[in-house]
Structure 1
């Protein structure tokens, strides 16, 4: 690598390449089209940014030479940040084109001919049409989180973008999965691509301790509250996964009443609130982030200590994707799962998927971090939170809209 790029890598704090970087970077530098598959936390953004910086070398004024397409504003902003950090000593200019920002300012960005454009598909096409732009100078294209680009309905826009690109470009596609629609797109848009796949679905970090706790569905909130109080007291960063937006709002409201500072993330949250909440959690101004799966995907939060499944995922791959956010880059971490009786079949599916036997704890069991046990949440800890939950349900008008959610055993009995 050029010294200017290596200097940026050192400044970022990287010491050795991750497996996806080891495999992808030489192929990309060599000019190959690449389909890269790896899980969250694998270092895939740097896997395509570093070789692009190497190939672009320095600033040119002839036109933009690299285009990075991301499914959401958040992912685009994160990629922009990584490019700026790794390329800080190269002199390369980078432009960000996403929805929610002033379109007039983005006209100005495009006119400055940045070397690298990072964009969401909708805003990019809008600007191409409004400004009658050509993409004839583009040499390198990256489709990041490509499976999500298709899940979000961007297929038509992506095909339109491909049509506007030169045929002699280098194309890179990074994705967690490869659905058929994406395979067809890769066949049409890439030339003899090399597939780089690294244990996308099955691998769980050996630094991750998994804790599985069975409890009544009605006791889940009490169990979560007790668990979060313990983790927050240790100043540990924790992400909580819920099934729906309503559950996220409910859990967050209860935590706020328990004086636990938390922020939320779900799809319908407006862009400004999302950005503020992510930044507050990332800078450790609060210790708990409550999310849905869709909203959390693509949000990069380094060095998480814990993941909690308030609702156990119905698919093993989703479990792996969730807990893949913890125990990254050589750090240890824990994944806690609260399992209602109706979710036990999902637990059985997970252990089959992982090829491990389910071991249920008894009075003589000793928990070992590298040997997952399935236990019950102690009744005395549930009871500690029950009176508090009953009190706020009786006295808080804001909880009326959440009457579809079971709270605690005593509330239901009353």
Structure 2
């Protein structure tokens, strides 16, 4: 998939950042994601996983539409959420897409009010997302994409169990998991809500 096939504001933002053509990983996965496929993307650092995630979400959602979020992205902690928000803001210039971060070190009532006002993309830590959901602080009925960034963090504390609860509360959805390594515990997801998912293992030799 070439950058020329992206919506104009996104293509302009990519060009402004100096990206002339997709990275090798992006050539492998962007068209698959655009087609609606659920993926486990296994690739090393600096291969373009985060940029692929951002491009795919903006390209699919395009513009603000519903009050309820249409994309949910799980991250490991507050700093990861804020960093990803900054990256989204750089790429979504020229669109009206709304991004909101929900993390544990912030007043949950304020977060619930902000989400209620309307957002398209929620970047959340697993613990805070689950708490918001059980307090009726977030509506997942319109969700189109459920994503885990740098998924290695899932296997610390109770993150894996908390993220696994989310599909129990939503309908049909595209799932994307970006990780450095494929953990055998992901097979539980393949047997449940990600049973049709493709596993894309990026060839590190392409980086050389």
- Normalised by the length of structure 1, the TM-score is 0.47
2:188 corresponds in structure 1 to 184
Distance 1:108 1:33, change over 3 A: same
1:169 has 2:193 as partner: no
Partner SS for 2:72: strand
Distance 1:99 1:62, change over 3 A: closer
Shift of 1:204: 9.8
1:17 has 2:22 as partner: yes
2: distance between equivalents of 1:196 and 1:91? 31
1: distance between equivalents of 2:114 and 2:93? 18
Partner SS for 2:192: helix
Q: Which aligned pairs between 1:106-125 and structure 2 lie closer than 5 A? A: 106-125=111-130
Shift of 1:26: 0.5
Deviations 1:380-399 (A, max 9, x none): xxxxxxxxxxxxxxxxxxxx
1:3 has 2:5 as partner: no
Contact 1:146 1:174 in 2 (8 A): yes
1:193 has 2:184 as partner: no
1:67 corresponds in structure 2 to 72
1:309 corresponds in structure 2 to none
2:81 corresponds in structure 1 to 76
Contact 1:33 1:191 in 2 (8 A): no
Partner SS for 2:200: strand
Gaps of 5+ in 1: 207-414
Gaps of 5+ in 2: 1-5
1:101 has 2:113 as partner: no
Q: Which aligned pairs between 1:142-153 and structure 2 lie closer than 5 A? A: 142-153=147-158
Name segments (4+ residues, structure 1) moved above 4 Å: 203-206
1: distance between equivalents of 2:93 and 2:157? 32
- Considering only CA atoms, is the larger Rg found in Structure 1 or Structure 2? 1
Contact 1:35 1:196 in 2 (8 A): yes
1:210 corresponds in structure 2 to none
- Pairing partner for 1:35 from 37, 40, 43: 40
2: distance between equivalents of 1:80 and 1:188? 30
2: distance between equivalents of 1:92 and 1:134? 17
Contact 1:35 1:194 in 2 (8 A): yes
Contact 2:13 2:92 in 1 (8 A): yes
- Normalised by the length of structure 2, the TM-score is 0.89
- Greater RCO, 1 or 2 (C-alpha within 8 Å, sep 6+): 2
Shift of 1:191: 4.1
Q: Which aligned pairs between 1:241-252 and structure 2 lie closer than 5 A? A: none
Partner SS for 1:188: coil
2: distance between equivalents of 1:191 and 1:112? 34
2: distance between equivalents of 1:26 and 1:124? 29
Contact 1:66 1:138 in 2 (8 A): yes
Contact 1:28 1:48 in 2 (8 A): no
2: distance between equivalents of 1:30 and 1:48? 14
**Stretch of structure 1 that moved more, 4-13 or 25-34:** 4-13
1:89 corresponds in structure 2 to 94
